[in-house]
Amino acid sequence: MKLVRIREARPLGNYRIELTLTDGRVVERDLGPMLAGPVFTEIRNDDARFMEVRVEGGTLIWPNGADLCPDVVIWGGLPPVDAAADAA
C-alpha cells in the first residue's frame, strides 16, 4: 500500500491551506482547529508565521519546529480503508 502524503502546500490565510497530494489530488483544509497547544501559539497569533508553512517528508512544518501529521491534515485521522486501497 502506498501512503498518500502532502507534496505541496499553498497557505491561503485565515488558517486555510491548499494541498497537492502525492496521488495528484488538490484539496483545501482549514487548519485552525488543529493549531492547538503552545507550539502553535505564534502561528495562531501571527498570520505571517502561518504563511511560513512548508512541506518536508510529506508533512506540514513551520520554522519554529511545529508540525502536523499528514494523516490528520489529509483525512482528519487515519486514512479510510477504501482510500488507502485506492492509493495503492
* Set of cell numbers at residue 85: 486501497
Cell of 21: 497530494
Pairing of strands 59-61, 67-68: antiparallel
Kindly report the backbone phi and psi dihedral angles of residue 12, in degrees, each rounded to the nearest multiple of 5, phi listed first: -105, -10
Options 3.30.530.20, 3.30.2020.10, 3.40.50.150, 3.10.129.10; CATH of 6-87: 3.30.2020.10
Once rounded to an integer, what is the mean pLDDT over residues 1-26? 93
Residue 23 contacts residue 6 (beta carbons within 8 Å):
no
pLDDT in tens, 19-69: 999 999 999 999 999 999 999 999 999 999 999 999 999 999 999 999 999
- Give 80's pLDDT tier (boundaries 50, 70, 90): low
Tell whether the model's pLDDT for residue 86 goes beyond 90.
no
Where do we find the cell 497569533? Answer: 45
Instruction: Give the start-to-end residue ranges of the domains of the chain.
Output: 6-87
Split at pLDDT 50, 70, 90, the class of 79 is: low
- Do strands 26-30 and 54-56 pair parallel, antiparallel, or not at all (unpaired)? unpaired
